Every structure is written in structure tokens, then in C-alpha cells.
A and B are shown apart, each in its own frame.
Chain A
Amino acid sequence: MTPNPFNSFLLICQFELNRLFSTRKGLLYLITFSVVWCFILFYPIRIASDLLALKQNSSSGGFFFEYLGLGSLMNWKIPEFGVYWRFSLFLFPMLSIIITSDQTSSDRERGTLRFLTIRISRNGLFFGRFTGAMFIQILLIFATLLTTIGLTIYRDSSLFYDAFYSSLTIIVNLILVLLPFTAMMAALSVSVKSVRTSTTWAVLILVFLAGIIAALSSYIPSIIYLKFLIPGYQISELAKLSLWQPLQLAYIPLLQSFVLLTIGCWIMSRQNL
């Protein structure tokens, strides 16, 4: 009986999905996420989009949002999706850090990885867990977009096609945004021994690394390019773009993901289990 490496990879992904949908811990997480999302949907998104819809119809509306630094919201045909895009660019990366922080660390600490690596290559396990984590986030994005489509067509059912189109662009762009965050957590997870440590490191990297690089670049100017490797580097720019425009910056998260996954994979292959 010869195990097929691709099947094993798919099984690892599937097992990660089971972890979310068939375990008490996963279901608790889903319930918490749903409650938080309902709050975001019914208050910030609905109220802000109502306001936007009102302002879009008035001549002074554009100036008002420009003044607040939210002029890009006017680029979205459906205000709900403009607000969703703004929220999701900050909400999902934060969620990503939390929900993907334990790709391998607990299993390594417990010794469970030993049972697995005797049956699947370390690379297969690493990429399987990473892909599983991405699938979970895609499902969550998908669910939140479905509820946003529902809210939109409840307001105006003729917007269904536009809502669907906007959702498609958002899901592709959000996947690109989340890739480097998930890759960073995969790399951190193979390097440290606990979820808490990997989350702490992620926060330190995101909050302080850019500052450290900026400070060091005054001595070594070329080091400033390292900022490109910090996940989320392009998010403030993305917030100003709409629909397919964010794909202009897709090379940044793809490059970041490639580098972070390579580092994670290298550490995983040399890690003592």
C-alpha cells in the first residue's frame, strides 16, 4: 500500500477543516466569529452604507468623505461593499493572526507531529496545514460576503449582479492580502513552542519591525526594501483602490508569501521534533 503524497496533502487540509467544523473548540470559535460579524454587519456596515448612499445622492457627499480620508469609498458602486472592503482589510489580517497561529506549534510541543511525520513528509505537512488554514479563512470570507450580499439585496434587489461581482473581486483580493499573514504564522508556528509566543512575535513584527527597519535604513539605506517583506505593507494603499484595481499590488503579497513560506519550510525541514 503506497500512500499518495498529494492525497496525504489533501487529507491534512481536510483535517484542518474538521478541526474548525467538528470540534467543540472550532465550533465555539465559529459562534464567536458569527456574533462579532453580525455586530459589524448590522452596525458599522449597514449604518455607514446607509450614510454613504445618502451622501452619494448629494453634491457635497464626496467632499465629506474626502475630508474624512474615506473618499475611496465612493469608488464602490454598492456602499456596503466599500465599507466591507475597508473593514475586511484590517479585520481579516487580525483574525488571520489569531486563527492561523497554531499551525504546528502545539502539535510539536505535544509530540503529535512525530505521529504525523512518520506518515507524511515535513513539507507535505507544512503546506497542508498552510493550505488548510487558507481554506478556513476563505470559507469565513465567503460566509461574510454572502451575508453582505443578503443585506444589499434586502435594501435593493436589483443590485444582486453588482453585489456578486463586487464579492468576487473582494474574495480574490482578500485571499492575496491574507496569504502573507498566514505564511508568516506558518513560519512562526514552526519556530516557536506555543500559540501565545507565535502571536506575540507576529504583533512585534507588524508593529515594530517597520520602525526598526526605518531607523536602520538611515545607516544602511538599502535596508529600507526589507519593509516590502512585512505582511500588510500594501494595505493602506489597497484601501484606496476598488474592484480589480488592488491586483496592481498583487506582486507584494505574493513575494512576501513566497519568502515567508520558503523560510518556514526551511525551518520545518531542519526542526527537531
Chain B
Amino acid sequence: MNNTIVQCQLIDHYYSGKKALSNVNFNITAGEPIGLVGPNGAGKSTLLNILCGFLRPSSGIVTLFDQKPGSSELNGKISALPQDARLDPTFSIGEQLVFFARLQGFSHKEANNEALRVLDNVALKDSFYEKPIALSHGMAKRVSIAQALIGTPQLILLDEPTAGLDPVNTRNIRSIIAELSPDTTIIISSHDLNELGRLCQNILLLDNGIMDSIQLNTTEEDGNFIQFLTIQMNPCPATDFIGKIKLLEGVLHVSNPQKNEFIVEYNSKIEPKIDLKIINCIADNQWQYRQFSRGKTLEEKLFFENKSI
């Protein structure tokens, strides 16, 4: 069933005459999290702001659940973690979260419980009575994430949810996102490609305002015999490594995009068990690998596909 919840057609957006988004077209169906990536200034936040109704596109059509962004019909259906938005410093965190929950239709008592629940989710239950000014940057970010979890939104838009968070809380946010999926569709804008690689199968790539869509882990499964392995090694002589791996049957190309990282392109029809052969080769040469994974890293796929090989 094609359950399209977001439709964007020919979106353009300009800031002071400068094009931030150019003919952006995409549809999002309900389900697994979707990553939104791109370099700084690519238009990620602009796109999320348009989807949230904070910005009006210069041209094009955007609908969420068949409604225009900002429509009151969407209240409670979508929630967002806007970039750089801060709570009112006058009121306590609890008061504001209760207020948000009440705006979403909760009774006073339910709203109170809901505020406590979402604060507990981000490990900030003790900050209920604190003012936003008492929080560190990371804690403030977690409170902002907490407000996005109020109720049962069908779509959550998260703009760099883990930027500035410590590893423990990053992991916690990742588990929250994983728990909410696929009942809630989550669009995550992030520069942390490892995180997106773990959470998302669908990636939207924005570069210079132009959108591209990438489905992860498909090339290996679609009858394409040209496959890749990414190997991270402990320090070893790169030239020797490349030379010896290239000699293995089925290996088409070996590249060294970063220090101690190698990408092996091979034909799986010629040698389906190339991974075992490579591990044997590494052992024979008394080298040590740190990580051995199928496919290319997300970073490699998105930004260096045509440069590294």
C-alpha cells in the first residue's frame, strides 16, 4: 500500500535572492526513518522548516497528510525538533512541556504525566522544575527532543537531534528513534553518517539545494555481481596491502580513500567467498584489521562515490 505522507513538488526557495532549494521533488511514505544529509548550507534546515510550516517556499507545492504545512489539521499529527529553537526562559521546563501537551489536547493531569514521561525518555525527569537557562546546551537539546515526543505524532522531523550530545545520550536518542519506528515516521537531518547508516534505509541527499534519493543496501541484493567491502586496518603498508589484495581472484579494484581504510570492489560471481580469502591474506601477512564490513560506508556512497575509485 502506498501510504504517502509527505509530498514535495518543484520546491524552490530563495534567501535574499540566493537559491537555497532548487526544484526539490520527493515523496515520503509512512514507515522507516528517513535520513536527510548534505553539506553545510545545502538546504536541509530550510527544507525541514518548510515541512514544519515555519517557512513558506518561494514556489512549489508541499503537503503533509494532504494538508498544507502549518495547517491546524496537522496539530498533534506532526512534531518537530527545530534547529536553534529555545524554550521561554520565564517558565520552568515542566510548565512549558505541560502547556505544549495541553495544546495537543491532553487534560491537565494527562499533560503533567506526559511531560514527565517525555522528560524521563531523555533522562531529564529531575529537570521538571528547572528553568531552561539552568540547562547546558546538550540538556537543552534533549528537552527540545522531549517536546517533539509529546503525544503520538505520526511524523517527527528532527533537525540534527544528536548534535552536541554526549555518546550515552546519543545512543539513548537513537534507541528512542528505533523504538518509535515504524509506527511513527521520522525524518532525521544529521551530519553524523554513522548514526544515519544505523537508523535509516532511505537517505535524501541535498547538495546545493538539489535533492537526490538513495536507497541503502540495494545494489548487493539486486542481482548486481559487482560488490564492495570496506576494511579498516590497524596501521599497515597501504601499497603492499593494495598490491596483495589485487592479486586475489575476483578483485576488480582496491582503493585507499583514507589512512588505513580500503575499499575492495569485486565480482561476487567469480569469487563469492572473497571475504574469507581477504581475511586469510591479512592473516598470512600478519596484519590486523579493525573493522570489516560489506558495502561502502554511507559517507563514501554519498559524497565520494565518483572520486574514490
A contacts, CB < 8 Å to B? 1-5, 7-8, 11, 15, 18-19, 23, 25, 107, 110-112, 114-122, 124, 270, 272-273
Given contacts A11-B103, A115-B100, A119-B76, 6 further A-B contacts (CB under 8 A): A1-B76, A4-B105, A18-B95, A111-B82, A119-B75, A122-B70
Q: Are A1 and B72 in contact (CB under 8 A)?
A: no
Q: Are B72 and A5 in contact (CB under 8 A)?
A: yes
Chain B, 41-71, CB within 8 A of any chain A CB: 49, 52-56, 70-71
12 A-B residue pairs with CB within 8 Å: A1-B104, A7-B105, A11-B99, A112-B85, A112-B87, A115-B82, A115-B144, A115-B147, A119-B76, A119-B100, A119-B103, A272-B56
Q: How far is A19 from B147 in the complex, measured between Cα atoms in Å?
A: 20
Q: Are A25 and B90 in contact (CB under 8 A)?
A: yes
Residue on A with the closest CB to B151? Answer: A1
- Contact flags B81-118 to A (C-beta < 8 A → 1, else 0): 01011111011000110011011111000000000000
B79 surroundings in chain A (CB, below 8 A): 118
Given A117-B54, A273-B54, CB of A3 within 8 Å of CB of B105: yes
Q: How far is A5 from B105 in the complex, measured between Cα atoms in Å?
A: 9
Given A1-B152, A119-B75, CB of A270 within 8 Å of CB of B56: yes
B78 surroundings in chain A (CB, below 8 A): 118
Q: Are B56 and A107 in contact (CB under 8 A)?
A: no
Q: How far is A117 from B99 in the complex, measured between Cα atoms in Å?
A: 13
Q: Are A114 and B85 in contact (CB under 8 A)?
A: yes
Chain B, 218-250, CB within 8 A of any chain A CB: none
Q: Are B54 and A2 in contact (CB under 8 A)?
A: no
Distance in angstroms from A140 CB to nearest chain B CB is: 19
Q: How far is A15 from B99 in the complex, measured between Cα atoms in Å?
A: 8
| The 6 nearest A-B residue pairs measured at CB | A111-B85, A3-B105, A119-B103, A114-B82, A121-B72, A273-B54
A1 surroundings in chain B (CB, below 8 A): 76, 104-106, 151-152
A19 surroundings in chain B (CB, below 8 A): 90-91
Instruction: Say whether B80 faces chain A, with CB atoms less than 8 Å apart.
Output: yes
Q: Which of A2, A11, A107, A119 counts the most chain B CB atoms within 10 A? A: A119
Q: Are B86 and A112 in contact (CB under 8 A)?
A: yes
B contacts, CB < 8 Å to A? 49, 52-56, 70-72, 75-76, 78-80, 82, 84-88, 90-91, 95-96, 99-100, 102-106, 144, 147, 151-152
Q: How far is A68 from B99 in the complex, measured between Cα atoms in Å?
A: 53
B53 surroundings in chain A (CB, below 8 A): 117-118
- Tell me if A's interface is mostly helix, strand, loop or mixed: helix
Partner of B75, one of A18, A120, A270: A120
Residue on B with the closest CB to A120? Answer: B103
Distance in angstroms from B5 CB to nearest chain A CB is: 16
Residue on A with the closest CB to B153? Answer: A118
Residue on B with the closest CB to A8? Answer: B103
Residue on B with the closest CB to A111? Answer: B85
Q: Which of A4, A114, A115 counts the most chain B CB atoms within 10 A? A: A115
Given A272-B55, A273-B54, CB of A110 within 8 Å of CB of B82: no
Distance in angstroms from B306 CB to nearest chain A CB is: 36
Distance in angstroms from A269 CB to nearest chain B CB is: 9
Q: Are B72 and A115 in contact (CB under 8 A)?
A: no
Residue on B with the closest CB to A273? Answer: B54
Q: Are A107 and B54 in contact (CB under 8 A)?
A: no
Distance in angstroms from A12 CB to nearest chain B CB is: 8
Residue on B with the closest CB to A10? Answer: B102
Residue on B with the closest CB to A4? Answer: B105
Residue on B with the closest CB to A26? Answer: B90
Q: How far is A18 from B55 in the complex, measured between Cα atoms in Å?
A: 30
Q: How far is A124 from B73 in the complex, measured between Cα atoms in Å?
A: 13
A117 surroundings in chain B (CB, below 8 A): 53-54, 70
B147 surroundings in chain A (CB, below 8 A): 115
A122 surroundings in chain B (CB, below 8 A): 70
B103 surroundings in chain A (CB, below 8 A): 3, 8, 11, 116, 119-120
Residue on A with the closest CB to B86? Answer: A110
A8 surroundings in chain B (CB, below 8 A): 75, 103
B49 surroundings in chain A (CB, below 8 A): 272-273
Residue on B with the closest CB to A109? Answer: B86
Distance in angstroms from A118 CB to nearest chain B CB is: 5
Partner of A107, one of B80, B88, B105: B88
A112 surroundings in chain B (CB, below 8 A): 85-88
Distance in angstroms from A186 CB to nearest chain B CB is: 18
Q: Are B70 and A2 in contact (CB under 8 A)?
A: no
Q: How far is A107 from B91 in the complex, measured between Cα atoms in Å?
A: 13
Distance in angstroms from B196 CB to nearest chain A CB is: 23
Q: Are A111 and B105 in contact (CB under 8 A)?
A: no
A115 surroundings in chain B (CB, below 8 A): 82, 85, 87, 96, 100, 144, 147
Residue on A with the closest CB to B91? Answer: A23
Q: How far is A273 from B90 in the complex, measured between Cα atoms in Å?
A: 20
Q: How far is A19 from B92 in the complex, measured between Cα atoms in Å?
A: 12
Q: Are A2 and B90 in contact (CB under 8 A)?
A: no
Distance in angstroms from B14 CB to nearest chain A CB is: 12
A111 surroundings in chain B (CB, below 8 A): 82, 84-86
Q: Are A114 and B99 in contact (CB under 8 A)?
A: no
Distance in angstroms from B163 CB to nearest chain A CB is: 15
Distance in angstroms from B128 CB to nearest chain A CB is: 16
